[in-house]
Amino acid sequence: MSAGQKLVNLGCGRHFHSDWVNLDLVPFSDEVKAADLINGVPLENNSADAVYHSHVLEHLSPQCGRKMLGECFRVLKPAGYLRIAVPDLEQIAKLYLGKLQAAWETPEPINMADYSWMKLELIDQMVRTSSGGAMGRAISDPDAINKEFLRSRLGSEIENAQSAQASEGRRAPVFSKILGKIKKKLAGWLWGHHSETLDEAEFRRSGEIHRWMYDRVSLRELVFSLGFSDFRICDADESRIPGFSGYQLDALEGVPRKPDSLFIECQKPAETFAKTEATARARLPGEFQEKVA
């Protein structure tokens, strides 16, 4: 653990550091513990110096997202920091409008390609019904004429997205494929469900799709309503968490890993924490209050 600090990375995916407590629904390594954040954060009250999650909040429904942030508040020590990275709805909306106007005025291929991409950024991750969606197909198109623009939006993640797209379909082990087929047959017999409906329901539970989006105003309102204070918008390699840039989580050698992000930090108040914790807990639904008490 770094200098006695307990640092927690929620929904870390493949981006974690061994000095941190790393949690994810699908652990990619022995250094990541399995946890479904919808059930809470499996840590003691007031135990973490910092909690961080990148591109996780938007995968939860607004209600579950709020619960998870309430959990971040609970597990943080007084004066501890919460750092959040989410796709920036404001930035996406502004870019979309700019590209829309350019495509309207000058419908040449490059403007049309950028406009189509921004539409995908707004919509595809919410409505896709299979892994990668239309964004995945656009990224892996070798003939894309707007590769530079795609890189400006996706940063180094573009390579990860391309290799994930390439391995799609080769991933499921034979056993789970057979099990999947049996489940679909059974559902068809029992409830008359079409197998596509079942596929889609399974996919939507897998954690890939976006269920909500945030901007600087809605995120600030949300964390303040849970008792956090001192909300700040940061750069990818700027943080009040000691040594954060050295962990290379949001920026690789100073270059943002996910340039489409809004990075924010806020703090659990040091003095008034008992009062604000009680307030935050009181705002959570009943079954969750018991869990965190």
Ligand X SMILES: C[S@@+](CC[C@H](N)C(=O)[O-])C[C@H]1O[C@@H](n2cnc3c(N)ncnc32)[C@H](O)[C@@H]1O
Which residues here bind ligand X, judged by CB under 6 A? Answer: 11-13, 15, 24-26, 35-38, 54-56, 59, 207
Shortest Cβ distance from residue 167 to ligand X (Å)? 16
Q: Which is nearer to ligand X, 146 or 261 (CB)?
A: 261
Report whether 93 contacts 218 (CB < 8 A): no
Say how far apart CA 47 and CA 133 lie, in whole Å.
Answer: 39
Q: Which is nearer to ligand X, 50 or 103 (CB)?
A: 50
Q: Which is nearer to ligand X, 97 or 201 (CB)?
A: 201
The set of long-range contacts for 10-17, using a CB threshold of 8 Å and a minimum separation of 24, is 10/35, 10/37, 10/41, 10/51, 10/52, 10/53, 10/56, 10/68, 10/72, 11/37, 11/53, 11/54, 11/55, 11/56, 11/59, 13/55, 14/160, 15/54, 15/249, 15/257, 16/249, 17/247, 17/248, 17/249
Shortest Cβ distance from residue 46 to ligand X (Å)? 22
Shortest Cβ distance from residue 121 to ligand X (Å)? 14
Say how far apart CA 111 and CA 144 lie, in whole Å.
Answer: 12
Report whether 135 contacts 118 (CB < 8 A): no
Rounded to whole angstroms, the maximal C-alpha distance in the chain is 60
Shortest Cβ distance from residue 28 to ligand X (Å)? 8
Which one, of 162, 160, 153, 151, lies nearest residue 261 by Cα?
153
Say how far apart CA 154 and CA 146 lie, in whole Å.
Answer: 12
Shortest Cβ distance from residue 84 to ligand X (Å)? 11
Shortest Cβ distance from residue 247 to ligand X (Å)? 12
Q: Which is nearer to ligand X, 26 or 186 (CB)?
A: 26
Q: Which is nearer to ligand X, 24 or 277 (CB)?
A: 24
Q: Which is nearer to ligand X, 261 or 267 (CB)?
A: 261
Query: What are the tokens at 205?
Result: 């539970």
Neighbouring CB atoms inside 10 A of 148's CB total 10
Shortest Cβ distance from residue 25 to ligand X (Å)? 4
Owner of token pair 């914790």: 277
Q: Which is nearer to ligand X, 12 or 51 (CB)?
A: 12
Q: Which residue is nearest to ligand X (CB)?
A: 13
Say how far apart CA 80 and CA 162 lie, in whole Å.
Answer: 37
Shortest Cβ distance from residue 13 to ligand X (Å)? 3
Q: Which is nearer to ligand X, 13 or 132 (CB)?
A: 13
